[in-house]
Structure 1
Amino acid sequence: MVTGAGRLLEVLGAHGVEVVFGLPGAHNLPVWEVLRGSGIRLVGVRHEQTAVYAADGYARATGRLGVAIVTTGPGAANCLAATGEAMASGSPVLVLATDIPSTLRRPGEYRGVLHEPRDQRAMFLPVVKGGWTIRSAEALGTYADSAALLAATAPQGPVYLGIPTDFLTADAGPWSKIPTSGQTAPPLDGALDLVRASTRPLIWAGGGAQRAGAGPAVAELADRLDAPIVTTYGARGLVDHPHVVHGPVHLPAVGALWDEADLVIGIGSDFDGMMTQNWLQPAPRKLLSVNLHAVRNYPPDVAVRGDARLVTAALSRALPRRDRAGTAERVAELNAAVRAAVVEDEPRVVGLLDALEGRRVVADMCVAGYWVGGFGRVTRPRGLAYPVGWGTLGFGFPAALGAALAGRVVAVCGDGGFLYACGDLATAHQERLPVTVVLVDDGGYGMLRYDQVAAGHPPHGVDLHTPDFVALARSFGVPASEVDGFGAEFAARLDECAADEGPNVLVVRAALKPPPNTSPRWYRRVRT
């Protein structure tokens, strides 16, 4: 007999899953038993929210399915914020949560069973791509297969699967994997006409291009069109190319590329509010959208619904190479201007940005993270994970735990957000995860302090008593040190941390001004 727990692990293995993140509970212990000899690595965490954040970080770093296994009721509820971030950022995450025994459930009636939710699936539906509660042990294999396939199929996103605990020890019966088919590029006639008619095209590459692995195709298209490339937060590091702008459109000099373009080619982007300053960027003169689903924030003149890599590569093959018009030189000058603007605006952050260049980074929703997300030089695909999708504070450290399974990663956190999951320093130590936490301590919620002061109010409720972070990390067995600011000592310490094999923490005492890509400093304003 193959039990439900055994079938679940069999399905995960069939989808190439090599690691899962989770926290045990009375209802999901049968899964822990089969994990023992399954060959799938279990990374045990200290909070269910961490399990989903870590699965998300793993998915962003590797492009593979991230799996979180949690227990019933309150354990499942703890996952919701992290699942919402995965949904907003298009991360392929499978949330596997147990439910109370099917024999104790009465539809429409709350009985007070341990951990009983009234409708656990309903809690997740607003923040997942799809979700089911299994109705029989025999259906477990098929539903788990469908859920894993749905999460990993573009457009990717989290999927919830609820499993009544008694099904984990019952006979799962037979199962056969659902067949899948490949994708092809759709017709391009209207798109080609639009591109051929343009003289000043701009390529706007988003997270969908990153998830599709469209970097080489985007580079080739930029070469053929002699067009500059602007990348959204989700596409940082997509391509290392002379036409890539190393700053956000929240700077007027970069935003001018959008204003001047007679065609914007949006590849894998929905043109969300955080990138467009809540759509205060004017509608493009012409817009070609390459996306898997309809884009409504700016209605396109032509929409090609398909995989970003396949469609972009097909566009390149069908277009002649244009004469060089100085785009590389203009972008180089623009990048130098971006750098000069950063030095003038906040010289204290330059050392952080320089020290992080070339490293894999996970940034939290903190002032230092905003600088990294907007102005950090990312030189590799999937080299930056940034929670701007939903904007969940506390993402950085737990997501980095998952990303660390793809190699050494730096988590840039503030003193407020780090405390959300500081207990998982125990996970980092126990699993010997190669993560360096750069913990920027400004004594509170620096962004919110800035908001209050900018509105003419004295700070209130945003200055925090913070612990001795070095002593805290060391109490978990994690090496830690501290420096003042992002000068030469910081750079040297970061190099030492990166050369270590396990986790470490570098506390930086510094208070930074928020960057221009944060909403209080957006240069486009509502006209009155």
Structure 2
Amino acid sequence: MEPRTGAEHLADALTELNVDMAFGLPGVHNLPVWEALAATDVRLVGVRHEQTAGYAADGYARATGRLGVAVVTTGPGAANTLAAVGEAQASGSPLVVIATDVPSTLRRPGVVRGVLHETSDQAAMFAPLTKGQFTVETAGDIAPALYRAARLALAPQSGPVYVGIPTDLLRQRAERAASVSDPVPAPGPVDLDGARRMIDAAARPLVWAGGGALRSGAGPAIGELAEKLAAPVLTTFAARGLLPLDHPCLAPNPVHAPEVGRLWDQADLVIGIGTDFDGLMTQNWLMPQPPALLTVNIDPVDAAKNYRPDLTLTGDATEVVTALADGLPARPGLGDVTAELRGIAARLRQRVRTEEPQAADLLSTLEEVLPTGTMLVTDMCVAGYWVGGFHRVPAPRQLAYPMGWGTLGFGFPAALGAAAGAGRTVCLTGDGGFLYGCGDLATLAQERLPVTVVVVDDGGYGMLRFDQDREGLPRRGVDLVTPDFLGLARSFGIRADHVKGFGRAFRRQLGQFVREEEPNLLVVDATLRPPLNTSPRWYRREQP
């Protein structure tokens, strides 16, 4: 049998890796990939910008827990993905970016000759933003490189990986090279006895669970541990939905509210699971060092980079927490903790209703009208901040919030990937952020993806406007001329409507749109005050 082409080796590898979905933009250098994938069951969704390919692959990975794949072309095409790759890295999304590079026969080491799309070192652009970079040198090396990239991307802590393929190798025929298995370090022993002694000595423990816990699937184990300890569980932005909403130990969000932040201040032991205690969650580390800190993390360096642990249990969150909880006696006081948390939740709901009634309406509508299993994707916008902080997420992988790197324009393209992988998705974006990727309304229409896009139109960058007003500065660069969003959507054949505010009309229209199989877009004229989880309103800055 004649050896297969490099592009066919690529398609074989993705099929063998059980990749069912990829997102990409065709270019003169990567057309053989499109041809090869057409002969497989891998669905290659064509988007209108390479950044969208990266965000869509990220959204797919967050919604499904599977590997996200972006296929882009050389030079500027690869460079266009970098913002999305940075967000995936900061949020721990397993992503492989497959980018072509200039033909190997035309490259001269150390010289940029002016080949179309040539850069001096394409892989180096990705080095600060990825777990690893692979550049293949022969057509037969393509499949082994993709295997290594996929394993690395999915291995905890998961993240993006770059694979560069000189374009001439895609049409070359070669025998497939042998795969290389990178060594996997064996887990070391963990000091469970030491951890249990810390727990025994604590009168008021608190569990702080992060994105690593969610990606590990550690929710049931953490729920059992928390019940045994009668300990509240705080979840980070990346861990929303880790525990069921009716779990007796689930604390309301966010920790940026003083009512919730006191749980940290009162704890004499914090158990941090799958988290690095980042600045966005801790108000740039204004939360005090706990009297005792026990951490569970796949990476002990990551666990210790912001707060000093007294003990770290290194390993997979599910395995370690399960072992830790095994044999622990149940403490009294679970009912008291549950009652305390319900009281906090009631006071927090009243705070939101008093501070920003429209946000309260938005949150209650989302909780009431979204069908079971709906994925919610937000952008960097004021409405998104309210949802990221306060929305009660009913299950894992039902909220994607770009507070890893904080990339404006994430919401809409990530929603495309989420919908392609998981079905009905609601995207909550602002008028400014939506314009970053509104051209992919074409993708939404072409693929008939089940996305409801909610564009909250406040006439510009509302968060930045708030900052300028707060400092007594004139408004500069924040008031925008925006298109007729309804006409724009309808020009692509997408149903669209418009309401004012988040009242009854919004509730009625959103409820109707999310029950439809087709994509649609809803514009909401509304201006919201930013919530407590945005940095200008962090309450600990105001403490003496």
In the superposition, the TM-score normalised over structure 1's length comes to 0.98
Which residue pairs with 1:344 in the alignment? 354
Query: What is the CA deviation profile of residues 334-380 of structure 1, one whole-angstrom value per residue up to 9, with x for unaligned ones?
Result: 11111111111101111211122254210100000000000011001
Q: Which runs of 5+ in 1 are unaligned?
A: none
Tell me which residue corresponds to 2:250.
244
Which SS does the other structure have where 2:173 is aligned?
Answer: coil
Aligned to 1:387: 402
Match 2:366 to one of 344, 356, 359: 356
Verify the 8 A CA contact 1:134 1:140 in the aligned structure 2.
yes
Moved more, 307-316 or 503-512: 307-316
The equivalent position to 1:56 in structure 2, one of 14, 35, 58, is: 58
Q: Where does the alignment leave 5 or more consecutive residues of structure 2 unmatched?
A: none
- Report the alpha carbon displacement of residue 527 of structure 1 after superposing the two structures with TM: 7.1
2:230 maps to which residue? 226
Counterpart selection for 1:125 from 124, 127, 139 = 127
**Equivalent pairs, count:** 528
Cα gap change, 1:526 to 1:324, in 2 (>3 Å): closer
Does residue 400 of structure 1 match 2:407? no
Shift of 1:138: 2.1
Partner in structure 1 of residue 166 of structure 2: 164
Secondary structure, counterpart of 2:514 in structure 1: helix
SS in 1 for 2:221: helix
* 369, 376, 389: which one aligns with 2:391: 376
Alpha-carbon distance in 1 for matches of 2:457, 2:230: 43
What is residue 318 of structure 1 aligned with on the other side?
A: 327
Matched, 1:46 2:48: yes
**1:518 has 2:521 as partner:** no
SS at the partner of 1:499?
coil
Displacement after TM superposition at 1:174 (Å): 2.6
Once the two structures are superposed, residues 58-95 of structure 1 have per-residue CA deviations (whole angstroms, 9 ceiling, x without a partner) of 00000000000000001001000010000000000000
Match for residue 273 of structure 2 among 267, 271, 275: 267
Corresponding letter in the other structure for 1:413: T
Q: Is contact 1:346-1:513 (8 Å) kept?
A: yes
Alignment TM-score, normalising by the size of structure 2: 0.95
Q: How does 1:55-454 map onto structure 2 within 5 Å?
A: 55-176=57-178, 186-187=189-190, 188-240=192-244, 241-293=247-299, 294=301, 295=303, 296-325=305-334, 326-357=336-367, 359-405=374-420, 406-454=422-470
The CA deviation at 1:172 is 3.5
| Contact 2:227/2:248 (8 A) holds in 1 | no
Change (3 A) 1:319 1:177: farther
Counterpart-to-counterpart distance in 1, 2:463 and 2:25: 32
3, 8, 18: which one aligns with 2:20: 18
Bigger CA drift: 85-94 or 141-150? 141-150
Paired residue secondary structure (1:42): strand
Map Cα deviations across residues 265-298 of structure 1 (whole Å, 9 max, x no partner).
0010000000000000001111111111122100
- Alpha-carbon offset, residue 136 of structure 1: 1.7
- SS state at 1:117 partner: coil
Q: Distance in 2 between matches of 1:3 and 1:246?
A: 54
* Cα deviations by residue, 1:422-442 (Å, 9 ceiling, x for unpaired): 000110111110111110000
- Letter of the 2:322 counterpart: A
What amino acid is the match of 1:351? D
- Give secondary structure in 2 for the equivalent of 1:506: strand
State the shift of 1:183 in Å: 7.3
Kept in 2, the 8 Å contact 1:140–1:172? The answer is: no
State how far apart, in whole Å, the 2-side matches of 1:368 and 1:394 are: 14
Instruction: From the superposition, tell whether residues 77 and 348 of structure 1 become closer, same or farther in structure 2 (CA, over 3 Å).
Output: same
For 2:463, what is the secondary structure of its paired residue? Answer: helix
- d(CA) in 1 for partners of 2:93, 2:49: 20
Q: 355-364 or 259-268: which moved more?
A: 355-364
Q: CA deviation at 1:460?
A: 1.4
Question: Residue type of the partner of 1:210?
Answer: L
Structure-1 separation of matches of 2:277 and 2:403: 13
